[in-house]
């Protein structure tokens, strides 16, 4: 289908809880194709969620930890001790910060045809699953930052070259 433009921090769709998908139809299959095309077409990616391309639906695509796919209407279970690793976001370009995430994540949902899927992983895949699920709940990785790291991130966002062009 198409590589879609990524919405930047400041766009209200990124802070809005996405709606559950109720129709597993051609429109959903087109959205999944667009997410997968967009994921392949942007550098430094591990996943992309529908809100990042301006669609308020609970769908994301991922490519991390040697796995690639998509999940519709995901629920997530977290386990393991938190790990802090660098994390970035297509919607907050050119910046990354040490971000705490659970070391293991299991996502359950559906594929584009309504068939149940489960994706479980540790390390980078777990981080990607948490990151993309957060997008569907109107959260960005910046929200997980604490203390001085959060202050540094917010300063960096205010002075980022793309910040002036981002919607407010």
Residue ranges of domains in the chain, CATH in brackets: 12-159 (3.90.45.10)
From the list 63, 86, 132, 148, the catalytic residue is 132
Please state whether the predicted TM-score (pTM) of the whole model is above 0.75. yes
Q: pLDDT above 70 covers what percent of the chain?
A: 96
In the 8-state DSSP scheme, what is residue 53? G
What b/e string do you get for 103-136 counting C-beta neighbours within 10 Å, with b at 16 or more?
Answer: bbbebebbbbeeeeeebebeeebbbbbbbbbbbb
Q: Which pLDDT score, from 0 to 100, does residue 65 have?
A: 84
Distance CA 96, CA 137 (A): 20
Question: Nearest Cα to 102, choosing from 84, 75, 88, 116?
Answer: 84
At 56, is the secondary structure helix, strand, or coil? coil
Question: Nearest Cα to 136, choosing from 64, 51, 75?
Answer: 51
Residues 126-163 pLDDT 10s: 999 999 999 999 999 999 999 999 999 999 999 998 88
Distance CA 60, CA 151 (A): 29
Residues 6-26 pLDDT 10s: 999 999 999 999 999 999 999
At 164, is the secondary structure helix, strand, or coil? coil
Is 132 a catalytic site residue? yes
At 15, is the secondary structure helix, strand, or coil? helix
At 159, is the secondary structure helix, strand, or coil? helix
């Amino acid at each position: 289908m198409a590589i879609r433009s990524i919405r930047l921090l400041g766009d209200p769709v990124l802070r809005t809880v996405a709606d559950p998908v109720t129709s597993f139809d051609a429109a959903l299959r087109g959205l999944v194709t667009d997410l997968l095309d967009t994921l392949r077409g942007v550098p430094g990616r591990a996943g992309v969620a529908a809100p990042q391309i301006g669609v308020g639906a609970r769908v994301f695509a991922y490519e991390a930890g040697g796995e690639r796919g998509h999940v519709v209407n995901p629920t997530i279970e977290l386990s393991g001790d938190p790990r802090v690793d660098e994390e970035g976001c297509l919607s907050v370009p050119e910046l990354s910060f040490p971000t705490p995430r659970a070391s293991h994540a299991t996502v359950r949902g559906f594929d584009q045809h309504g068939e149940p899927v489960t994706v479980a992983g540790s390390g980078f895949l777990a981080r990607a699953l948490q990151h993309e699920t957060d997008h569907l709940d109107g959260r960005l990785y910046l929200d997980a930052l604490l203390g001085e790291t959060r202050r540094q991130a917010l300063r960096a966002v205010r002075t980022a070259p793309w910040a002036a062009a981002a919607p407010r």
